[in-house]
Structure 1
Amino acid sequence: MDVVGGSEQGMMQSKTSREMGNRRALRDIKNLLGAQRNPYVVTKKGLTDSKINLDDQNPALGARRPITRRFAATLANQSQAQYQDSKENYQQIGNDREHAAAIQPDDSSDLEEVEMEESVVDSMPDIDSCDHDDPLAVVDYVDDIYRLYRKTEDESCVDPNYMSKQFDINEKMRAILIDWLIEVHYKFELMEETLFLTINIIDRFLESETVVRKKLQLVGITALFLACKYEEVSVPVVEDLILISDKAYTRTEVLEMEKLIAGTLHFNMSIPTPCVFMKRFLKAAESDRKLELLSYFIIELSLVEYKMLKFCPSLLAAAAIYTAQCALKGQEEWTKTCELHTAYSKSQLLECSMLMVDFHLKAATGKLTGVHRKYSTFKYGCAARTEAAIFLLGTNP
């Protein structure tokens, strides 16, 4: 064997491996750089390099020597000693395990609780089971979508005291505008999403810009125009919006206001409104047409009220459905499935629900009755004629 040549080649290979930094595929190599090599690890080099001098006097490399009787006896004694040590180690490990099992606390009760919680979740009905064959229902992603809605719903919220920054308009004027827009939305036969987005655009714009009262209606019809562009397939033309405002504004004014609103909101129309949560929560409540219409009646009453801006969209939607269920059942109704999918308990909904009951009682009185007239028609199932859940007003939060 060429020992010298082999040593030089081994040194070159070792140097190359050091320069490569002991790289390992798909692993963080920072913790390997500069680390000492474990002397007990068998490497590829140790298996394949045939030029290692096995006659080296290093006992770790297994020095070669003649097998005499004395040397054979020594090897036999060493093997017996190693066997005894291994046996004692295994016995000690077994004793340690028995001792650990004896002193380990009993976690069976905790495990039972976890299993009970998991069984409760598993026993909940799958509200998407009927839509597995519908690609538009995106059943595989719907939970992730609504999880994102919950994270981003704060973007659609406004300061509930923003009206204090306005010098020429007030809460009552806002209510008159929204009540009128609900009637316009009904006459144009637009989608529910359009109405909720329109009102959200108005509030977000008024939070950022001061508006004089003679321009407030212009803000309203332009917000409706933008919402239609975002939600509708067939969008009303500008001339239609001018006609419904009794020609109070020109086409140029509408288009200029459209630029101003879109720029102020940074063209952000993709926000979760109460409407997106209503669809999901009604599904969790296993709603029928009657519950659906009454829930929308109650939440549209809330859209008119400035004081309801303090509640986030998901809470408004859940409270509207809870209030409608109580009105129809004549008692408190909120299932575990509803609580699971809305993430709200009855106690969390009660404050908002009590306000909604009050709006329901007063819906037919006063000057702002647009929502009541809309839901008194047969098209909307005469939902406005349903008795309000008055018993909730006496409930302690």
Structure 2
Amino acid sequence: MALLRRPTGPSPTPEDVSMKEENLCQAFSDALLCKIEDIDNEDWENPQLCSDYVKDIYQYLRQLEVLQSINPHFLDGRDINGRMRAILVDWLVQVHSKFRLLQETLYMCVGIMDRFLQVQPVSRKKLQLVGITALLLASKYEEMFSPNIEDFVYITDNAYTSSQIREMETLILKELKFELGRPLPLHFLRRASKAGENLKQQYYTGYTENEVLEVMQHMAKNVVKVNENLTKFIAIKNKYASSKLLKISMIPQLNSKAVKDLASPLIGRS
């Protein structure tokens, strides 16, 4: 019990105590890393993978995720409801596929749209305008070559003019304070998939299984509703049924008992 002996020398200063605590924290972190594989260890030769900074980058993304979170009930009391949003997202998925845009562009588009709808009341007549403008903004942010604004006018069957889209673009940017760099699901999915195993996933994502259970149940519910023809919103399934995307929406595991059991508490609920 030597650690509990009363020190006989001079009392430590606050600076000494602080440094000791910092060293203990560092030692604890190092001990953890010794037990869990460093998944970035072999990436040092590839500057694009930023192996020296990747852990700090993901910590920052987690902070942004909290700061830019979407309230689950952000449409309550608005002209627009969840079904209208679902119709719009289903259509945007089809537009995204038609324009052959990057996956990041679609995720960013939905994020921009939801963040704007959360802070700015929008009439039903302008909901599609918000959606198509969000896709335009996301394209400018993510794509090497964004579609022209006239392409977005055409895809809405001339429901809106290019001037209206530009006005909405200005309004969205002002409301979001030009902060478009929101963390995307793809960022975290790639990290989790790289970690692979359960223990490593928990360490590198920062989430336990219990913390993601509710989200998993909602995702399973949506999968079951699509596979059992309980919804008309099937653009995502059709998109991922293509050979280019490895027909991932057609794999038998999505019809498994495990998925159905996971969804069962929510089936029948909206």
Query: Under TM normalisation by the shorter chain, which class is it?
Result: 0.7 to 0.9
- How far 1:218 moved relative to its partner? 0.8
Aligned-partner residue type, residue 146 of structure 2: V
Aligned-partner residue type, residue 376 of structure 1: A
Aligned-partner residue type, residue 129 of structure 2: L
Answer whether contact 2:74 2:118 (CA < 8 A) is retained: yes
In the aligned structure 1, how far is the partner of 2:40 from the partner of 2:222? 33
Query: Deviation digits for residues 51-75 of structure 1, max 9, x if unmatched?
Result: xxxxxxxxxxxxxxxxxxxxxxxxx
- How far 1:129 moved relative to its partner? 2.9
Which of 199, 213, 217 is matched with 2:128 structurally? 217
1:227 is matched with 138
Answer whether contact 1:191 1:231 (CA < 8 A) is retained: yes
Change (3 A) 1:122 1:246: same
2:201 is matched with 338
Query: Deviation digits for residues 68-109 of structure 1, max 9, x if unmatched?
Result: xxxxxxxxxxxxxxxxxxxxxxxxxxxxxxxx959859xxxx
**2:4 equivalent to 1:141:** no
2:9 is matched with none
Q: Structure 1, unaligned stretches of length 5 or more? A: 1-99, 106-114, 286-333
- How far 1:392 moved relative to its partner? 5.3
In the aligned structure 1, how far is the partner of 2:211 from the partner of 2:260? 15
Answer whether contact 1:165 1:210 (CA < 8 A) is retained: no
**SS at 1:165's partner residue?**
coil
Answer whether contact 1:193 1:275 (CA < 8 A) is retained: yes
Q: List aligned pairs for 1:161-172, cutoff 5 A.
A: 161-167=73-79, 169-172=80-83
Answer whether contact 2:111 2:182 (CA < 8 A) is retained: no
2:21 is matched with none
Aligned-partner residue type, residue 341 of structure 1: Y
**Normalised by the size of structure 1, how large is the TM-score?**
0.56
In the aligned structure 2, how far is the partner of 1:220 from the partner of 1:267? 17
Q: List aligned pairs for 1:84-163, cutoff 5 A.
A: 104=5, 121-163=33-75
Give the length in aligned residue pairs: 241
**Normalised by the size of structure 2, how large is the TM-score?**
0.81
Which of 206, 225, 240 is matched with 2:151 structurally? 240
In the aligned structure 1, how far is the partner of 2:156 from the partner of 2:193? 35
Q: Which structure is higher in RCO with an 8 Å CA cutoff and minimum separation 6?
A: 2
- How far 1:184 moved relative to its partner? 1.1
Cα RMSD after superposing both structures: 2.6
**2:255 equivalent to 1:381:** no
1:371 is matched with 236
Answer whether contact 2:105 2:138 (CA < 8 A) is retained: yes
In the aligned structure 2, how far is the partner of 1:342 from the partner of 1:142? 12
- How far 1:383 moved relative to its partner? 0.6
